[in-house]
Chain A
Amino acid sequence: MSNIFEGHLMLRAEARPGGRTALAGQSFRAPYYVGKSYLDTDSGVLMVQVANPTAGILSGDRLESAITVAADAKLLVTTPSASRVFPMNAGEAVSRQTFAVETGGWLEMLPEPLVPHRRSTYRQDTSVEIAAGGGVFFVEQLMPGRVGHGEAWEWDRLVLTLDVRVDGEWVLRERFDQSGASLRAMAVAAGTGPESCFANGLVVVPGADAAETNPAWREALHALHGDGVWIGATALGAGAWSLRIVAANGVTLRAAVQQVRAILAEVCPALRCGLRKL
């Protein structure tokens, strides 16, 4: 029996008559597992936890996921624990994930951090498509390794790509392709410390003026810069924003992401959904 997983996850959230969001479709195969969803009645957001009941991601694993939020539905997807990419003597693990938000829909994607272990190679291709009038808060976090074990920046190769389209317009192609050693060198040069953690975010504020390049919330985000946190937001076009955070350690990064979430909740009410209820 092979230990290699061909993981599959599909979720589709739809708004029922009256506006209540429900999962209209779901399917999954190990290592994915979808827990019971929870509707936050205050914000109207349906919260779903996607768990990996196995130890983590291993060489040869192939993971595919597709999450769709239909018109006027509101969905939050998170994970209960970090995604660990284990040491590999050879080969790589690959994940391909697609997210689609239809007109009036809202998707928050806030998984726990990715933790690449020593000698690991991991590739993740992500595609996000947002229809006009849709909204997104999408954040991925990267830890330098198993810091508690004294292991940091020891992965072989990490390739993260992100394509973003808003109302059919291609606004971003990111390609992060780094060894642990090269990222360690960047962290040292920048002075953010040997345990620096990184969060990469995408924000589309529903109903916002797509031509706005300096909204008030950006100033509030930039005010978080300092005391072990680097943060910057920049307009991508078509109303989409790129957000990057570097923090001196995982605890600081988590706190910064929560502060960002609170600031953006002023313009994205769906972010008032409390993560603690999961």
Chain B
Amino acid sequence: MTSDPAIGTDAGWFCGLLQAGDSFYPTGAYAHSYGLEGLVQENVVTDRATLCSYYEQSVLPSLARLELPLVAQAWHALAEPDWAEVAEVSRLASVLKTTREVRLASHNIGRQRAELLARLRPESLATALVARAASDGFPFAATVSAALEGRVHGAPLAAVLGGVFYATLSGQLAAAMKLLRIGQNAAQSLLTEMLAHAGPTVEAAVVLRREEIGWFNPWLDIASARHETANARLFIS
């Protein structure tokens, strides 16, 4: 089993990433708000302006200093692949999730993405990763599975990180549209505004050393911890 791309052309990997990032692709990610619903319940995020602050103070820093660096580290580890490194990055991805529901979300989405890819492309690296996770006992992680998809589709690192960046922003907006009175046009204008941060965010992520990976917002963590026991909620996390 190697990390040779299943699809070798630019159009091939591009389409592969589009498939993996499509809301039609069954990963379960749509069921999670990653703490946003908790902040809505605390009346911190109430409209477009406060949602913009949430992106600037939580979503973008988390991408730059937590999610994207883990994807980059996993992408490198999967090149050979170096399974000890993959296991280490997977464990790190797990312990860096500082609330239970967000950690479980990463585990479940990571498992779903890896197992789905293994079913769709049984001769690929995905099958090996699923087997290694079981035999070596390391947890699945959404970030590692995103890197896996990039490797299987033969996508370059910048494209993989850009895909995760876009999917995270759009996924949070999809959740926000269910939680707030915000329309399609306002959502798209906010998304456009935030996409301007893609270049600097990806550049910051790829140079971060492993020991420097990590980020949390105390208010977001508290909202997420309280959301775990909320009497009413739309999202799992």
- Asked if residues B229 and A175 are in contact (CB atoms below 8 Å), the reply is no
19 A-B residue pairs with Cβ-Cβ distance under 8 Å, sorted by A, are A170-B91, A171-B95, A173-B96, A173-B214, A174-B214, A175-B215, A177-B214, A185-B57, A186-B57, A187-B219, A191-B44, A213-B228, A222-B226, A230-B219, A231-B222, A232-B226, A234-B225, A242-B225, A246-B222
Is residue A146 contacting chain B, with contact meaning CB distance below 8 A? no
Other than the given A177-B215, A230-B219, 9 more pairs (CB < 8 A) read A172-B98, A175-B65, A182-B57, A189-B54, A190-B44, A233-B225, A234-B99, A234-B228, A244-B221
- Asked if residues A232 and B214 are in contact (CB atoms below 8 Å), the reply is no
Distance in angstroms from A219 CB to nearest chain B CB is 7
Is residue A57 contacting chain B, with contact meaning CB distance below 8 A? no
Chain B residue with minimal CB distance to A163? B95
Contacts of B228 in A (CB 8 A): 213-214, 234
A252 to B57, CA, bound (A): 25
Is residue B213 contacting chain A, with contact meaning CB distance below 8 A? yes
A190 to B46, CA, bound (A): 11
A230 to B50, CA, bound (A): 19
Contacts of B218 in A (CB 8 A): 186, 198, 200, 230, 244, 246
Q: Which of A171, A232, A244, A246 has the most CB of B within 10 A?
A: A232
Is residue A176 contacting chain B, with contact meaning CB distance below 8 A? yes
Contacts of A222 in B (CB 8 A): 226, 229
A175 to B98, CA, bound (A): 10
- Asked if residues A236 and B216 are in contact (CB atoms below 8 Å), the reply is no
Chain B residue with minimal CB distance to A222? B226
- Asked if residues B213 and A219 are in contact (CB atoms below 8 Å), the reply is no
Is residue A49 contacting chain B, with contact meaning CB distance below 8 A? no
Residues of chain A at the chain B interface (Cβ within 8 Å): 161, 170-177, 182, 185-187, 189-192, 198, 200, 213-214, 218-219, 222, 225, 230-236, 242, 244-246
- Asked if residues B229 and A236 are in contact (CB atoms below 8 Å), the reply is no
Contacts of B44 in A (CB 8 A): 189-191
Contacts of B170 in A (CB 8 A): none
A191 to B223, CA, bound (A): 13
A65 to B217, CA, bound (A): 27
- Asked if residues A174 and B98 are in contact (CB atoms below 8 Å), the reply is yes
A236 to B100, CA, bound (A): 6
Residues of chain B at the chain A interface (Cβ within 8 Å): 42-44, 50, 53-54, 56-57, 61, 65, 91-92, 95-96, 98-101, 212-219, 221-226, 228-229
- Asked if residues A175 and B95 are in contact (CB atoms below 8 Å), the reply is no
- Asked if residues A186 and B229 are in contact (CB atoms below 8 Å), the reply is no
A198 to B216, CA, bound (A): 13
Contacts of A218 in B (CB 8 A): 229
Chain B residue with minimal CB distance to A191? B44
Chain B residue with minimal CB distance to A245? B222
Contacts of B225 in A (CB 8 A): 232-234, 242, 244
Chain A residue with minimal CB distance to B223? A232
Distance in angstroms from A253 CB to nearest chain B CB is 12
A232 to B219, CA, bound (A): 9
Distance in angstroms from A257 CB to nearest chain B CB is 14
Q: Which 7 A-B pairs have the closest CB atoms?
A: A175-B214, A232-B225, A232-B222, A234-B225, A190-B219, A234-B99, A173-B95
Distance in angstroms from A124 CB to nearest chain B CB is 14
Known A177-B214, A230-B219, A246-B222; contact A172-B95, beta-carbon cutoff 8 A? yes
Contacts of B221 in A (CB 8 A): 232, 234, 242, 244
Contacts of A244 in B (CB 8 A): 218, 221-222, 225
Known A171-B95, A230-B219, A236-B100; contact A225-B226, beta-carbon cutoff 8 A? yes
Distance in angstroms from B55 CB to nearest chain A CB is 11
Contacts of A219 in B (CB 8 A): 229
Q: Which of B65, B101, B216, B219 has the most CB of A within 10 A?
A: B219
Distance in angstroms from B16 CB to nearest chain A CB is 31
- Asked if residues A186 and B215 are in contact (CB atoms below 8 Å), the reply is no
CB within 8 A of B65: which of A171, A177, A187?
A177
Contacts of B214 in A (CB 8 A): 161, 173-177
A214 to B226, CA, bound (A): 11
- Asked if residues A246 and B219 are in contact (CB atoms below 8 Å), the reply is yes
CB within 8 A of B92: which of A173, A185, A214, A235?
A173
